Structure 1
């Protein structure tokens, strides 16, 4: 796409961003909005990158910066300079970023220094834990943005309390609802992950753990695994753990003894992971995105952290925050199993991407009716 056709430039760099921005890309296609995609390369392995574009039938990014790993500062700095070069060439009206990664921070900084507006998708999330790099990233992005697309009214309230003008804030719902709604049936049709791992629906639990606060601390990581394994041993459920490359490296580096009750497997592509989430009896996770997805899918969630930036999942009864102490993990999981799963989805009606384009003047007007939370 030529630069003079570019109304929106979308900056992404990780698996969650690809998935959550896929509906926005689709909406641009459907509305004939000129757009380009910058992939920073923050996630750079095939299982966390290319396969998601293929499965979601997304066009190859117009720009792949291939930044790769590094310290937070060096990675973010390299991204800022490279993104700026693209934006100077394309001169988009709006730059969209999503979430709380270093790619979000870099895209927000680069765009805010130039003559283009910044739109932050999934604005207003707060864990109130400033030790988390993600918290710093999302706060900076929110205060740099011209358009703040809050997934829920609670997120919008946090933004108002921080003094952000109300005219910049739009409650859109969360684009993950758009994505899950679109791809859940496809995952059920095409995925063979249950057969591949000899799993039966509602007879296994899913574990994900990759956050630095957990996997970079050998004591926390070991405690987390022991707690999940203890629950598995007492309940009789299988536990499958698709291991993020970062976590796999830490298991090897720390020589962590993974309990027999926890079955390690390779990282999963989007459709296979969605199938695991939708058929698991229970999800253990330290991922914010997985908390949302489990809530939308009606799968009880136990969050292996001390806080969450998705309080709506707790409020509707879909999620429990338990930390990493084994006794708390077991207690939280038992409680989750006894809780009805007919909670209301707090993240919207699956039309968030349309509302985002409407808010920047590039799409059809969509009513806010149906946006819950």
Structure 2
């Protein structure tokens, strides 16, 4: 039955008028993602927006992470709708990638202008989208604002500082981040302490996390799995330039991991950047005895299952510092600084520096003494996305 037949001519006109008015009053939000950690953060925000009336949501994927197969797995596991727009920018230097995103996104926003952008994290996509929107006078909300490592040698630190200086709404994961923003001159009314939206996703997915034993079996690591049943295992990720770009530093860290495997097997999910550097340095032989097990990047549910059951996690990832704190799993962060100090002050994270010797010593201490217990920080309760939407609604209502 057609709309006209169902309603009649008079009612049809009123129905269409009401629908037009409703659509005209919707606040149109563009959610920007570019990398897989962005997917983890944006998923609960999109769900929270769609549960509320008054919002029309468009998901824009810049294509900064362009592994189509693995991206599809993340979208499926996290329940994210297919992107409405995919800019497909691909790889390049930081400048090249940022510039390509800006050029492509400007056209999208010009043709179909939203009321607000929501950006997450600290990647090039976050910076590029914020720059474009700011020049077009489109307000921007930054989720995960105010985090600082105080190390401008990190590209992400530059992205954080510039993004926060331009954004209209600054939504923080911990109180120290709010303090950072106030010291930098942000107006208090622009800042909202909402908690950690990554933990929303962790809570939503924990029951579906792939058990570690199943992952070991499916990647053909039965010997490691058998040993892990007796001693436990460790989970490793390393990808930052400070750890993998210098051959001597990378070699030292891989050799340290190999020594740690005499006490406990390690599963190393190898980032494509790290793999390329390892192959160039001829480090493949260090994996030959099977105690240090290398795999390609893993899906979110597999990584979550491995972190949950690990005796320790070794990483240089910011997000994993937070996830291990939420899970209560000891984490050794192979960096000289961190933008997530609450994971050290209250959580299970230990900053060990980039020295291979320090890493071995810290791992031995965890295996003997059990590592830090910690506690879950304030507002890391699985409801951050709802608070984010409350702040967005209030901001838009006053414009």
Common topology (TM > 0.5): yes
TM-score by length of 2: 0.85
| SS at 1:167 equivalent | helix
For residue 276 of structure 2, what is the aligned residue in structure 1? 249
Is the contact between residue 301 and residue 336 of structure 1 (CA under 8 Å) also seen in structure 2? no
Distance (Å, rounded) in 1 between the aligned partners of 2:343 and 2:392: 28
CA positional deviation for 1:69? 0.5
Residue 376 (structure 2) pairs with residue 330 (structure 1): no
For residue 389 of structure 2, what is the aligned residue in structure 1? 357
For residue 159 of structure 1, what is the aligned residue in structure 2? 181
Is the contact between residue 11 and residue 104 of structure 1 (CA under 8 Å) also seen in structure 2? yes
Residue 21 (structure 2) pairs with residue 13 (structure 1): no
Which has the higher Rg, Structure 1 or Structure 2?
2
| SS at 1:49 equivalent | helix
Distance (Å, rounded) in 2 between the aligned partners of 1:256 and 1:331: 22
> Of 43, 50, 58, which aligns to 1:29?
50
Q: In the TM superposition, what are the counterparts of 1:214-363 in structure 2 within 5 Å?
A: 214-233=243-262, 235=263, 237-257=264-284, 258-259=286-287, 260=289, 261-337=291-367, 338-339=369-370, 342-346=373-377, 348-361=380-393
What residue ranges of structure 2 are gaps of 5+ in the alignment? 1-19
CA positional deviation for 1:72? 0.8
Say if 1:324 and 1:262 are closer, same or farther in 2 by CA, change over 3 A: farther
For residue 7 of structure 2, what is the aligned residue in structure 1? none
Distance (Å, rounded) in 2 between the aligned partners of 1:146 and 1:317: 30
Determine which structure has greater relative contact order: mean sequence separation of CA pairs < 8 Å that are 6+ residues apart, divided by chain length: 1
Distance (Å, rounded) in 2 between the aligned partners of 1:229 and 1:362: 53
| Superposition RMSD in Å | 2.1
Distance (Å, rounded) in 1 between the aligned partners of 2:161 and 2:309: 34
TM-score by length of 1: 0.91
CA positional deviation for 1:326? 2.2
Say if 1:103 and 1:191 are closer, same or farther in 2 by CA, change over 3 A: farther
| Segment drifting more, 177-186 vs 110-119 | 110-119
For residue 11 of structure 2, what is the aligned residue in structure 1? none
More helix by share: 2
Is the contact between residue 231 and residue 329 of structure 1 (CA under 8 Å) also seen in structure 2? no
Report Cα offsets for 1:9-33 as digits up to 9, x if no partner. Answer: 0111101000111100111121142
In the alignment of these two chains, the number of paired residues is 360
Say if 1:277 and 1:111 are closer, same or farther in 2 by CA, change over 3 A: same
